[in-house]
Amino acid sequence: MPTSSPPQHAPTRGLYLGLVITVLAVLAYAAYITIQFAGLRKLQSELVDRNRRDSLQLLRIQNDLNTLGLAMRDMQDPAEPYPILAWVPQFERIRTDLEDAIEHESALTQATPTSDQLLYLNQSLAQFWDSVNRMFALAQSGFESAAAQQIRDTLQPRQASLSSAVSRLLVQNNEAEERATARIAAIYDGVQRQLYAFLAAILIAIVVTSLYLIRNNRRLFAQVAELSSQRSDLAQKLIATQESTLRHISRELHDEFGQVLTAIGSLLRRTGKNLPADSPVHADLQEVQGIAQSTLDNIRSLSQALHPVLLDEAGLVATLDWYIPTVERQTGLVLHYEKSGEIYPVGTSAGVQIYRVLQEALNNVARHSGAKEAWIRLQFNPNALVLEVEDHGKGFRPAEGQTGIGLVAMRERAEILGGSLKVSPLPAGGTLVHLQVPREQVEPHAE
């Protein structure tokens, strides 16, 4: 006894799990990328942009200090026509601009290693301006030479020291900007590596999921193919059993009941001959004899319908020549029957299947199409035997999800013969049933 295979679970749960993992991975990576780029924006705004504005202020301070240096050089020039006191307004303007630049620069600078230099710069500027005030006080008191001496001895060295301090701050800003640029580049490189790793992981997940799907699909298709093969085998066995049963019933009706009714008819005729001509039993015997003959004709018709004896005795062509006019009488259909090609013999087994396909097709025309006539074409082609049944009725439209058992049986019979069956709607309305069977499958030696 064959053992049933264990039930196979659908891959839906695994696919959902893979989908959830993939979505979570994408969301996690998106959050990671968002955090990284937020850090980049913060780094650029807090370091790069601030250093740039800080450097601009330091350049402004350095430019003011250079202007002071040039002014002090000119103040000591013997050819200068203006006295030292004439430079007071220019010094005041430079001092105001320096204080504004220092204020802006201090707002941009946070608690960094440069804060000590800024403190030193502020203290040095305060001392410088104290010396400037004393220098202008000497000049105002008439001590021009002492004022010039103080410029050389005090103010110019302090101005040079201040310029050096500002230069160092500029260098530190440039170094900080380079470090920030390096950090940004490192973050970009890290994000790029993470992106490549994430894409690789996603590709691996896709490959694994695809392999999983392929494996499950192959297994499911194998199961479907096995079930289809089993169904086809079962259908063919049922058809073979049905034909065997019908053949047996047909022979029993034809041989047993037919012989009994034939014998009854003979006895009735002999009995009638032995009776006097004026006997009143003659009419009763004739009536019984008519009933027996009618029953015999019905049994013979039923026997032919179950399994035409002509198929065994005369073949498919002769059987169809008898069957098609019989259908016309029984159904009232007008059947146009056409044979073409060079007729070759058809084996009994193949003839039974072809006969049943025609029988089912004509039953569908009579019951469902609403047509009053149909066209039957039997073509003996060199490589195949073709049977077509065409009607111009309302067409073949089975309900959604339903397939008639007759159509299934017709397809199974075509498969038994190794042929193909097509049921096609016609453009102008109606249906065409097309059966094609390879010639080697219908000839007697193929049985």
Query: What CATH number should be reported for the domain holding residue 344?
Result: 3.30.565.10
Q: Lowest mean pLDDT: which of 114-128, 227-241, 258-272, 366-380?
A: 227-241
Task: Report the candidate in 167, 157, 155 with the shortest Cα–Cα distance to residue 87.
Answer: 155
- 447: amino acid identity, one letter: E
Domain boundary among 212, 241, 258: 212
**What letter would DSSP give residue 152?**
I
Q: Lowest mean pLDDT: which of 63-77, 236-250, 332-346, 410-424?
A: 236-250
Residues 200 and 330 in one domain: no
Residues 201 and 343 in one domain: no
Which strand (E) or helix (H) includes residue 271? Answer: helix 258-274
pLDDT higher at 199 or 382: 382
The arrangement of strands across the sheet holding 334-341 comes to 334-341, 373-380, 384-391, 431-438, 420-425
Residues 162 and 42 in one domain: yes
Domain annotation covers residue 61: yes
Domain boundary among 212, 246, 274: 212
Rounded distance between C-alpha atoms, residue 146 and residue 261, angstroms: 164
Residues 58 and 195 in one domain: yes
Rounded distance between C-alpha atoms, residue 198 and residue 388, angstroms: 61
Rounded distance between C-alpha atoms, residue 29 and residue 22, angstroms: 10
Residues 173 and 38 in one domain: yes
Domain annotation covers residue 277: no
Q: Lowest mean pLDDT: which of 50-54, 66-70, 196-200?
A: 50-54
The 10s digit of each residue's pLDDT in 208-233 is: 877 877 887 788 888 887 877 777 67
- Burial level of 397, CB count in 10 A (0-12/13-18/19+)? exposed
The 10s digit of each residue's pLDDT in 330-364 is: 888 999 999 999 999 898 888 888 988 998 999 88
Look at residue 305 in the predicted model and tell me its pLDDT: 65
Task: Report the candidate in 447, 292, 429 with the shortest Cα–Cα distance to residue 370.
Answer: 429
Domain annotation covers residue 303: no
Domain boundary among 178, 196, 212: 212
pLDDT higher at 92 or 76: 92
Contact indicator for 403, 427 with CB cutoff of 8 Å: no
User: How many structural domains are present in the chain?
Assistant: 2
Unique residue bearing structure tokens 């074409």? 377
Domain annotation covers residue 436: yes
What is the CB-side half-sphere exposure of residue 28 using CA atoms within 13 A?
Answer: 9
List b or e across 354-379, with b for residues whose CB sees 16 or more CB atoms inside 10 angstroms: bbbbbbbbbebbbebbebeebbbebe
Residue 76: band (very low, low, confident or very high) from pLDDT cuts 50, 70, 90: confident
- Residue 371 phi, psi dihedral angles, 5° rounding: -80, 155
Domain annotation covers residue 1: no
Greatest mean pLDDT among 7-11, 147-151, 207-211, 280-284 lies in 147-151
- Residue 340 phi, psi dihedral angles, 5° rounding: -145, 160
Task: Report the candidate in 392, 363, 360, 350 with the shortest Cα–Cα distance to residue 375.
Answer: 392
Residues 208 and 314 in one domain: no
Residue 375 has pLDDT above 90, yes or no: yes
DSSP conformation letters of 339-396: EEE------HHHHHHHHHHHHHHHHHIIIII--SEEEEEEEE-SSEEEEEEEE-SS--
Domain that holds residue 174: 12-212
- Burial level of 79, CB count in 10 A (0-12/13-18/19+)? exposed
Residues 192 and 339 in one domain: no
Residue 110 has pLDDT above 60, yes or no: no
Domain annotation covers residue 265: no
Name the packing angle between helices 281-306 and 258-274 (round to 10°).
160
What pairing do the DSSP bridges indicate for beta strands 373-380 and 431-438? unpaired
Residue 114 has pLDDT above 60, yes or no: no
Domain annotation covers residue 236: no
Rounded distance between C-alpha atoms, residue 219 and residue 227, angstroms: 12
149-155-158-159 Cα dihedral, nearest 10 degrees: -130
Domain annotation covers residue 122: yes
> pTM higher than 0.85 for the full model?
no
Percent of the chain with pLDDT over 70: 83
Greatest mean pLDDT among 89-98, 286-295, 308-317, 438-447 lies in 89-98
The 10s digit of each residue's pLDDT in 387-437 is: 999 999 887 655 544 456 778 888 888 888 889 999 998 888 889 999 999
Task: Report the candidate in 58, 132, 124, 125 with the shortest Cα–Cα distance to residue 89.
Answer: 132
